[in-house]
Amino acid sequence: MSMDRLITRILETKNPSVAGLDPKLSYIPDFIKEEAFAKHGKNLEGAAAALLAFNKGIIDALCDIVPAVKPQCAYYEMLGWQGVKALSDTIAYAQQKGMVVIIDGKRNDIGTTMEAYAAGHLGVTQVEDISLPAFGGDLLTVNGYLGSDGIKPLLKVCQEQNKGIFVLVKTSNPSSGELQDQCIDGKPIYRVMGEFCEQWGEQLPGQYGYSGVGAVVGATYPDQLTELRKALPHTFFLVPGYGAQGGGAEGVAGAFDENGLGAIINSSRGILCAWQKTGAAPEDYAKAAREEALRMKEDLCRVIPPMKAPAEAQ
Amino acid sequence: MSMDRLITRILETKNPSVAGLDPKLSYIPDFIKEEAFAKHGKNLEGAAAALLAFNKGIIDALCDIVPAVKPQCAYYEMLGWQGVKALSDTIAYAQQKGMVVIIDGKRNDIGTTMEAYAAGHLGVTQVEDISLPAFGGDLLTVNGYLGSDGIKPLLKVCQEQNKGIFVLVKTSNPSSGELQDQCIDGKPIYRVMGEFCEQWGEQLPGQYGYSGVGAVVGATYPDQLTELRKALPHTFFLVPGYGAQGGGAEGVAGAFDENGLGAIINSSRGILCAWQKTGAAPEDYAKAAREEALRMKEDLCRVIPPMKAPAEAQ
């Protein structure tokens, strides 16, 4: 199951972080863009080619020290189908380099439509008698506003294909509380959604005690991270908002369990734009990304318990 | 603004319905698939070509009598980037034929990421000094679980590009109540989300009294449709669940105002699979779709007030 594969890679690299591949054109060094535009034209195709080349450099620089990448669909879709092709190629390249791929699509729908998303992003699509992977991600972020009808079709595909999901629980943005902090019978909605994750996860048990149904919980809400870690013992957390969104290592410490597991912390701009922030030469963008990833790993490991597989999994 | 364009087309066609373009391969006549597979191979590309050819036939048959189409992203994404290219081509073809296009993507994220979705699906993408539309839809369905941070970036793009959105409020599925019917201070969440729509819509006023921020409310919940129509006077409704999901014309009557406006009713399988349901020849699939669309129009017009532009808009 892919949550197990993610945790195994975290243990192997001793690094509980994921690189968010959210590349805007402005993050990409000119020499990459110029080459892509020269070849494909200054258009969506050229921009998508620049994205892919940039991503490959980042993946090459990180694949032995960072367990996973998380491409954010929006930045690929904004370049049309050409961008979506670059997303597809990025996923394949990262997996080929041994990385686990979390597709950040926050998809949501019901019934057969949600099955279609599950097939497309995690499973296989039937073209008559032939089964073909479309995007072939390992994990997918999803939004549970529609209730169980929106999640159950995913669980079926996850079971069959050994994949997993992350459900939005408490997002990192300032206004996330408008709905998520409101109380139903005295219990905040993020907590209700978190408990749904525990329940949905029963169908996808994992070898490290964490199920195939994880939760997205923002680094910007340390108290809720700590509260939810205790309340949801089988739910692995994907934590956005470290660094660029203001959350630091101390803020995410509560997301981890006594084995230093339980969460993976995302950094997107921090890693992708490291070359701009440090004033590195554009040619060294990937090297700067690697240095930032190592700095982040150290920063995180400083505040969490020494990482080890739980006794029952060893 | 695109909600105005949608309402204008509804008035012109006297038809408050939208054809959901959710084509599964099993809905598509063999002769179309065989031709596509012969040309492109029995693979994702071939399947995507079959989808596009099928859609074009449906659009040709409906464009003078149905105001809009609503392609559901999931069925295109399940065919990978090749399917997403077919989505892009479908959108362009429908617009060329005068139809309004609602992209059913239920997208959701925050800040610059949501801006990227807005640019991609509704606006234009900047490639250096050049502005290019990526998907170029007229309206996009979105999920508001993340709060205002997830919606405001869309409003900016909608203002600049004269586009609009539909926010999930009360979805048509059986388990939608798990979260959406729960009460916050005595008020159900769908109602809270609906009131957010009224508030967000203030930034996008429309000529018919309906703003550029609409709401998705399922045909399967007639009481909530009636309640929300009264409570949300500036919010236009996109209503799924007619026909195949069990809701009939009587059930959706409450979604309309005294001018026979206020809502557009979706039918996907009912229209796309009409040829299979009626036993029509595969070659007549588009004709069968047109007949079903006309039947549905009559069915709806039977239960709603005679359609006219409100006095203040004339």
List, for residues A113-141, the tens digit of each pLDDT value.
999 999 999 999 999 999 999 999 999 99
- Supply the pLDDT for residue A244: 58
Question: Which CATH superfamily, name and number, covers B2-303?
Answer: Aldolase class I (3.20.20.70)
Q: How far is the C-alpha of A189 from the C-alpha of A276, rounded, in Å?
A: 39
Q: How far is the C-alpha of A79 from the C-alpha of B217, rounded, in Å?
A: 31
Structure tokens at B150: 């997830």
Chain A: give the shortest CA distance to residue B60, in Å: 24
Q: How far is the C-alpha of A38 from the C-alpha of B145, rounded, in Å?
A: 42
- Tell whether the model's pLDDT for residue B247 goes beyond 70: no
Choose, out of A145, A220, A273, the residue to mutate when testing the contact with B (most B CBs < 10 Å). A145
Half-sphere exposure in the Cβ direction for A194 (13 Å, CA): 28
Q: What angle do CA B295, B288, B266 make, to 5 degrees?
A: 55
Q: Is the sign of the CA dihedral B271, B273, B276, B280 positive or negative?
A: positive
Helix H or strand E segment including A160: helix A148-161
Q: How far is the C-alpha of B241 from the C-alpha of B172, rounded, in Å?
A: 6
Chain A: give the shortest CA distance to residue B41, in Å: 10
- Supply the pLDDT for residue B244: 58
Helix and strand numbers (H, E) in chain A are: 14, 12
Specify whether the backbone of A141 is left (phi greater than 0), alpha (psi in -120 to 50) or beta: beta
Contact state of A108 with B143 under an 8 Å Cβ cutoff: yes
Chain A: give the shortest CA distance to residue B209, in Å: 27
Tell me which chain B residues have a C-beta less than 8 angstroms from the C-beta of A145. Answer: 143-145, 168, 171, 179-180
- Supply the pLDDT for residue B248: 75
Specify whether the backbone of A184 is left (phi greater than 0), alpha (psi in -120 to 50) or beta: beta
- Tell whether the model's pLDDT for residue A247 goes beyond 70: no
**B75 to B24, B86, B277: CA distances (angstroms):** 7, 10, 21
Q: Which CATH architecture has domain A2-304?
A: Alpha-Beta Barrel (3.20)
Q: Nearest chain A Cα to B104, which residue?
A: A109
Choose, out of A76, A173, A196, A273, the residue to mutate when testing the contact with B (most B CBs < 10 Å). A173
- Residue B39 CB burial class (10 angstroms; 0-12, 13-18, ≥19): exposed
Lowest mean pLDDT among A8-12, B230-234, B310-314: B310-314
Tell me which chain B residues have a C-beta less than 8 angstroms from the C-beta of A42. Answer: 127-128, 130
- Tell whether the model's pLDDT for residue A314 goes beyond 70: no
More confident residue, A105 or A246: A105
Average pLDDT over residues A281-288: 98
Q: How far is the C-alpha of A6 from the C-alpha of A67, rounded, in Å?
A: 7
Q: What angle do CA A244, A263, A69 make, to 5 degrees?
A: 60
pLDDT cut 70: percent of chain B above it: 98
Contact predicate A115/A153, CB 8 Å: yes
**B108 to A270, A314, B1: CA distances (angstroms):** 22, 39, 21
Q: What angle do CA B63, B66, B68 make, to 5 degrees?
A: 85
**B135 to A185, A307, B116, B231: CA distances (angstroms):** 42, 45, 12, 33
Contact predicate B299/B247, CB 8 Å: no
DSSP state of B62: H
Tell me which chain A residues have a C-beta less than 8 angstroms from the C-beta of B92. Answer: none
The residues of A that are catalytic are 106
- Tell whether the model's pLDDT for residue A86 goes beyond 90: yes
End-to-end CA distance of chain A: 17
